Amino acid sequence: MDEVSVQVQQGEPKQVKASQRSGITVRVWNSAGRLGVASTTQLDDCGLETALEMAKEASAFGVTEDIPDFSPLATAPLGEPTVTTPDVPLAAAKTLLDQLIAAERELLSRHPAIASVPYNGLSQRRVERFYLNSEGANRQQTTTTTTLYLYSKTDEAGRKPRSAGAIRMSPDLEHLDIAGCIDEVADKTIRHLAYEPIASGQYPVLFSPAAFLSLLNAFSNLFNAQNILDRQSLSTPESLHQAIASPLLSIYDDARHPENVGQPLFDGEGTPTRRTPLIEQGVLTGLYHSAGTARRFQTQPTGHANLGAKVTVSGHFYDVPAGEGGDRPDGLVWIDELHALHAGVKALQGSFSLPFDGWLLRNGEAISIEAATVAGDIRSLLKNIRHLGTEVEVTPYGCGPQVWVSPLAITGE
C-alpha cells in the first residue's frame, strides 16, 4: 500500500506523510489437518520461505475443531467492478498541499465567525491486493482512493464554539468534490451559530443518513455470523428469518455499490464480494459470512472475511433504500451527527447514550441545539421507525435516506 497524506494549519503545512507498506499472511495445514498462520513484511523468497516454515510449525498447535478451510468460491468468477479506477499515479505531496490550503482558505472566508479548521486532511492511497491458494485460486486487484476531511471551529465573543465536519471520497483527485465538502461544512457551521438549550424529555427523532448508518455500524454484530457463533451478538441463529425491524426498513451490504470508492472484488479468503441482503422489509434475512461460518450455518460465504491469525468478518458498504417520506412534526429533533460512538455504545446490550449535533424543529424553523445526548436501545429503535426519506445520500458508511423514529430520550444541558 502506498499513501500520501497532508494536513494544514492557517495556510501552512502542518503535517506531510508518505508511506509504503507491504505484508503477506500465509496459512499452512499439516498432515493432521490442523492450521498454522504466519505473517511477514519481508516479501522476497527468503521471507516467504521463513513465513511458510513458521506457519507449518504453528500448525502443530492449531485448533482441532471448526478448522478453517479454503472458500468454496475462491475460484469462482470475480465479475466486473461497477466503478473503474483510473490508472494514474498518486499526486505529489505539494499538489495535495496546494489543494488543501486553498480549501481551508475558502472555508475560512465563508463567515467571520469561522476562525479555524483545526482538523483537516487530504490523502491518496493506492492498494494492491492478491490472494492465491494451492487449489488454483489466483486473484489480484489494485484500487486508489482520495479522501478529503474538513472540520471547522468558530470563535465569537460570549458564545460557545460551534463546529461541523464533512468528508468526500473519490477514486482520484481530479473528481474529488472539494467544493461540495466546503459548502457542507460552511452551511452546517453557520446554521449552528444561533443555538439554544433544549429541555430534557422524550422527542420524535429524525436521523440524518450519516447519523443512522454510523449508529447501525456500531451495532453491526447484529449481522455478524462469527459474533453470533461466539455469543457476542444481539442476534442468535434463531434470529434469522425473524422480524427485527419495522417493515419499512430494508438493509443491504453492497461492496460493489457504484458509490463505494475502492470497492473490493474479493475478500481475504478469495470469495467474490456481492450484494448481501441483511434486512428485508424488517426481517433478518442474511449475515456476514466467512467460509468457516458459512459451513456451520450451512450456507455460502458472502465475501466478508478478513484473513489474520483468526478469520474475522465485517461489512463493506450499507445500502438502505428510500421510503415514501412523511411530514416533520413540530418538536422533532433532527440529529445530524453522533459523537463518542466508541464510548457511548454498549454493543452487547443494545443500548446507547450519545452526544450529538442537531436542530430542534419549532414553528417551521430549525433551531440549533446547544448541547444534548440521545439515548435508547437499537432493537427498539429499529422496530419503531415511522418514515424513511424519499432521497438517498452518500455517506462514509454507505447510502441511505433520513430516518424518522418514535420518541427517544433527549437529555439537554
The cell numbers describing 293, all together, are 461460518
Indicate the CATH number of 1-193 among 3.30.2290.10, 3.40.50.1110, 1.20.930.40, 2.60.40.1180. Answer: 3.30.2290.10
Rounded-to-integer distance, Cα 277 and Cα 285, Å: 6
The mean pLDDT value for 295-309 works out to: 94
235 confidence band (pLDDT: 50, 70, 90): very high
pLDDT (tens digit per residue) in 347-372: 999 999 999 999 999 988 999 999 99
pLDDT (tens digit per residue) in 277-296: 999 999 999 999 999 999 99
The cell numbers describing 71, all together, are 472458500
pTM: 0.94
Rounded-to-integer distance, Cα 256 and Cα 271, Å: 13
User: For position 65, what pLDDT does the model report?
Assistant: 87
Chain mean pLDDT for the chain: 95
The mean pLDDT value for 241-260 works out to: 97
Rounded-to-integer distance, Cα 160 and Cα 359, Å: 16
pLDDT (tens digit per residue) in 92-101: 999 999 999 9
**Has residue 66 got a pLDDT over 90?**
no
The cell numbers describing 42, all together, are 519481508
Angle between helices 93-108 and 178-191 (to 10 degrees): 30
Rounded-to-integer distance, Cα 409 and Cα 405, Å: 12
Q: What is the DSSP string of 302-333?
A: -S-EE-SSS-EE----EE----------TT-E
**Has residue 85 got a pLDDT over 90?**
no
Q: CB neighbours (10 Å) of residue 121?
A: 19
Domain ranges of the chain: 1-193, 195-413
